[in-house]
Structure 1
Amino acid sequence: MNTHTLRKSAPASSVTQAAAGALIAAVHTVAARIGFTAAVAVTDQAGHLKAFDRADEAPFLTAEVALDKAWTAASFRIPTHTWNDYLADPQVAPLAGHPRLTAVGGGYPILENGRCIGGLGISGGSYQQDRQAAEEALTALGFELSGH
């Protein structure tokens, strides 16, 4: 192999701190409108925490769940609610034992120009409310929603 033509790295885009903060604010706005308080986690494309906020009234467990939803969404670049169907497959079901995998609505990859630049995780409402808040916040800021 010729080392002069060997590709040694790949560019990795990450959600900015400003965009992460704007997503958190947008989620809290939607959550207040539809009637719940939330913990909101934003990770980079590798699932590492970028920004986080938990409303005063949100239960403490929501913090960990929000982070795990964001991590799950960024890890496979699919929304967390899609995992229930995947885990029903006996060939995939063993992944349910992974301590961070969260197959509950409210986690979405943050997509820009078809590339995953992070993960968004919301916890505090029902899975439908968490999912709605994620979708509305991402759409309001011009991010793409995953087709899954």
Structure 2
Amino acid sequence: MASAEAEARKNSWNVVIAIVDSGGNIVMLQRLDDAQFGSIDVARQKAHTAVAFRRPTKVFQDLIAQGGVNLRLLKLEGASPLEGGVPIVLGGKIVGAIGVSGVTSQQDAQIAQAGADALLK
């Protein structure tokens, strides 16, 4: 959480950061000053999606951008097709995920990745 929060603060981004365990249960949630209330649920959904499907949520965003049959991904109940959810992988196992919401999807992902990368050090 500290590394993700530091990345957000370094860039003056007011976001919500959610961390879930391997079962999708919230273990940490941080709403930075002036982060919009709506980002709480979005950050949680991004983290939940990343752990449930064992991949970054950017995968879903990219597939949907291609259109066609991939648009069916929009119907995944409770899943977020927006970039900003990143699995936390330790020793080759997914142990949780980080979801971020509040700025652009790419910036959300940058913050989430900073948090996930810190655990590898």
TM-score (norm: length of structure 2): 0.88
Give the Cα–Cα distance (whole angstroms) in 1 for the partners of residues 52 and 68 of structure 2. Answer: 19
Give the Cα–Cα distance (whole angstroms) in 1 for the partners of residues 5 and 62 of structure 2. Answer: 29
Whether 2:108 is the aligned partner of 1:126: answer no
The secondary structure found in structure 2 opposite 1:58 is: coil
The secondary structure found in structure 1 opposite 2:50 is: helix
Aligned partner of 1:37 in structure 2 is 14
Give the Cα–Cα distance (whole angstroms) in 2 for the partners of residues 80 and 50 of structure 1. Answer: 19
C-alpha deviation, 1:49, in angstroms: 1.3
C-alpha deviation, 1:25, in angstroms: 1.8
Give the Cα–Cα distance (whole angstroms) in 1 for the partners of residues 4 and 78 of structure 2. Answer: 22
Alignment deviations for residues 64-116 of structure 1 (CA, whole Å, 9 cap, x no partner)? 000000000000110001102334461x5433113321111110111111111
- 1:75–1:89 distance in 2 versus 1, CA, 3 Å: farther
Higher strand share: 2
Instruction: Report how many residues are paired.
Output: 119
Aligned partner of 1:105 in structure 2 is 83
Aligned partner of 1:55 in structure 2 is 32
- 1:89–1:113 distance in 2 versus 1, CA, 3 Å: farther
The ranges of structure 1 where at least 4 consecutive aligned residues each deviate by more than 4 angstroms after the TM superposition are none
| 5+ residue gaps, structure 1 | 1-23, 144-148
Whether 2:51 is the aligned partner of 1:74: answer yes
Percent of matched pairs sharing the same residue: 31
| 5+ residue gaps, structure 2 | none
The secondary structure found in structure 2 opposite 1:117 is: strand
- Mean alpha-carbon deviation: is it higher for 93-102 or for 24-33? 93-102
- The higher radius of gyration belongs to 1
- Which structure has the higher relative contact order (CA within 8 Å, separation 6+)? 2
Aligned partner of 1:117 in structure 2 is 95
Contact 2:73–2:81 (CA<8 Å) still a contact in 1?
no
